[in-house]
Chains A and B, each alone.
Chain A
Amino acid sequence: MRFTTIFRVALRALRRNTMRSILTALGIIIGIGAVITIVSMGNGAKARVEAQVAALGQNIITVYPGSFSSGGTRGGFGSAPTLTVEDAEAIAAEVEDIDGVSPEVRDRNQVLANGLNWSTNINGESPDYPYIKNWNIVQGAMFTDQDVKSLAKVAVIGKTVVDQLFPNEDPIGQTLRIRNLPFRVVGVLDVKGFSLFGSDQDDVVIIPYTSHMRRVSRRSNISSILVQGKTSDKLDVVKSRIEDLLNQRRKGREPDFTVRTQEEIAATATETSKTMTLLLGGIAVVSLVVGGIGVMNIMLVSVTERTREIGIRLAIGAHDRDVLLQFLIEAILLTVLGGILGILCGIGASEFASAYFGLPTLISPTSVLLAVAVSTVIGVFFGYYPARKAAQLDPIDALRYE
């Protein structure tokens, strides 16, 4: 029998049982569609968590001052005024494999502008800060090294501060007052949202650390030092270099500082992301199994109920090969067609979920490939295997099959 004839016979058989063909394809469509949708939703959620982790900045090392103790009372980390701008400058000058350093001075203060006032975080930083924190300036620009040197009264502000102090106007070029000193707004930071620990990261005013130390907080020490490591694999080396350097600068005194890498801080977040990956893998496997069993069942049933048809074909002179090829082509046509529709449905459902429920979705080609491969293999196998069994029967037995 010619291949084209078998192809025509297979097409005819599919068309003849439109409902059964649709149902079979539907099993595959739902199997593939479900896997793609679920995995894409999971991926989206995972990407969101990872983005939050990345928003903390990457490869950051933070140097905190040691603890302060007085008369037996011990303060916590960072309570001792032991870190200086010189420490930060030494790190910037001498430690290799770093991309940026920002001495930090933190404070809370009342800010006035426009006849409004708002209590917010006043952070003194270096111009490297947005780069280290992976935080974009959406309007205006970051202040410069020159501003740091000249103790300039300039500020870059977060979105919450903009909302509170400049609700209806362009904040760039406006003046806000900290401790009655006028600061010119030169930049607005991108929205960062809440931190993993629940604080509003956008509620911040950033000014040059020198201005902060001399004009606002009037202190000689700094709160911490942010260091941007070049690569994540060298982070531990950089960390110990910083420790060595600072110890050297302290000339044998007890270390009065602590160095932490961001990895340690973000360990929880990474853990969450790992859990998500595991969860996702589990869901994908379960969906694949469920989809696969659906495809298997409908294929098994639809082929088994056609044993008589196989008997008729054999009795009037079909070779078993003809029958097998026919069922193979049918199964391939169904699974390919169902696969394509399933991919479309999966993508559609993912888009729908992200558009209407605000769920982040991310379609992963691997999941598409895996879903299609698994259901195609299952569909073809269970379309082919019962047909093979039937074709191996004696035609009379196949004809008698009820």
Chain B
Amino acid sequence: MAPVVQIKDIHKIYESGEIPVHAVRGVSLDIHKGEFVALMGASGSGKSTLMNMLGCLDRPTKGTYKLDGIDVSDLDKNELADIRNQKLGFVFQGFNLLARTTALENVELPMLYGRHRRLSAGQIRERAMHCLEIVGLANRADHMPNQLSGGQQQRVAIARGLVNEPQVLLADEPTGNLDSRTSIEVMGVFQQLNDQGISIVMVTHELDIAHYCKRNLILRDGVVVRDEAVPNRSIASNELGKLKSAEAAAKLIANPVN
């Protein structure tokens, strides 16, 4: 089967300053359906730039990018918007939910812009609700983002990313703003989705978070320096159990719940 993401020797050069910045210098990458990839690297390694190109938010200066068999390198702005809408799901570090808008309405948002599907308001609501159920927030559908914890907000964002049944879910440091426990919970949601066959690419600079993924890519100075499968990956439900026991031991919570 053809890879979902097929990148050949892409470059990104920022010309905005006096000196052109060569952020990505020739990355080639295939990501197949059902993969769970972590992009890692220090600040300035080009991982965010690569992520933006993967997400069709930014165009490569050079090289080709095929997403689900479609060459997106020379699509115009609106065609890229449609690709983002139909084939990609986004999860951002800062959640990027619309303020003063209920969780449900936030999740409905991508379906309002869908070009190919014509769904009724009822169908849209139903699908959004279904995605909230997947991330375990069905009972919070009417809450505003400011009434939700960081982890819950990120789960709403994940539900929003899922709602148009994307080929790839892209997550840019999804745990960057979360504490370790909530991070594990969010990674649990990702693992669960991945188990259902959804391909996920995420950027992180935390090793232990990357350890929940199946494949780790390490970037340095705009090139991939390491690309390996994670041998013994962490399973979120196990880790959460461990954490709970540890917290119970430290009297942080009342009693370990099994």
Docked-complex contact A395 and B101, CB < 8 angstroms: no
Q: Determine if A138 is an interface residue (Cβ-Cβ < 8 Å).
A: no
Docked-complex contact B57 and A319, CB < 8 angstroms: no
Q: Tell me the complex Cα distance, A313–B85, Å.
A: 10
Q: Is the interface of A mostly helix, strand, loop or mixed?
A: helix
- Given contact pairs A315-B90, A394-B58, A395-B57, A320 touches B112 in the complex (Cβ within 8 A): no
- How many Å from the CB of A398 to the closest CB on chain B? 10
Q: Which of B76-84, B228-236, B250-258 contacts A (4 or more CB under 8 A)?
A: B76-84
Q: Determine if A317 is an interface residue (Cβ-Cβ < 8 Å).
A: yes
Chain A residues within 8 Å of B85, by CB: 316-318
Chain A residues within 8 Å of B82, by CB: 317, 319
B161-203 contacts to A (CB < 8 Å) = 164
Q: Tell me the complex Cα distance, A318–B115, Å.
A: 9
Chain B residues within 8 Å of A16, by CB: 98-101
A267-322 contacts to B (CB < 8 Å) = 308-309, 311-322
Docked-complex contact A394 and B57, CB < 8 angstroms: yes
Contact with A along B193-215 (1 / 0, CB 8 A): 00000000000000000000000
Docked-complex contact B98 and A319, CB < 8 angstroms: no
For the A-B complex, the count of residue pairs with Cβ-Cβ distances under 8 Å equals 66
Chain B residues within 8 Å of A317, by CB: 81-82, 84-86, 110, 113-115, 164
Q: Tell me the complex Cα distance, A17–B98, Å.
A: 11
Count B interface residues, CB 8 Å.
Answer: 29
Count A interface residues, CB 8 Å.
Answer: 25
Docked-complex contact B113 and A316, CB < 8 angstroms: yes
- How many Å from the CB of B53 to the closest CB on chain A? 10
Q: Tell me the complex Cα distance, A221–B164, Å.
A: 104
Q: Determine if B160 is an interface residue (Cβ-Cβ < 8 Å).
A: yes
Chain B residues within 8 Å of A17, by CB: 100
Docked-complex contact A313 and B57, CB < 8 angstroms: no
Chain A residues within 8 Å of B81, by CB: 314, 317-319
Q: Determine if B96 is an interface residue (Cβ-Cβ < 8 Å).
A: yes
- Given contact pairs A17-B100, A399-B92, A316 touches B57 in the complex (Cβ within 8 A): no
Docked-complex contact A313 and B113, CB < 8 angstroms: yes
Q: Tell me the complex Cα distance, A273–B114, Å.
A: 63
Q: Which of A320, A321, A399 contacts B96 (CB 8 A)?
A: A399
B82-135 contacts to A (CB < 8 Å) = 82, 84-86, 90, 92, 96-101, 105, 109-110, 112-115, 118
Chain A residues within 8 Å of B109, by CB: 312-313, 316
Q: Tell me the complex Cα distance, A159–B52, Å.
A: 89
A211-247 contacts to B (CB < 8 Å) = none
Chain A residues with CB under 8 Å of chain B are 1-2, 5, 9, 12, 16-17, 308-309, 311-322, 394-396, 399
- Knowing that A311-B96, A317-B81, A319-B82 are A-B contacts, what are 7 other residue pairs whose CB atoms are under 8 Å apart, sorted by A's residue number? A2-B118, A16-B99, A312-B96, A317-B86, A318-B113, A321-B78, A395-B57
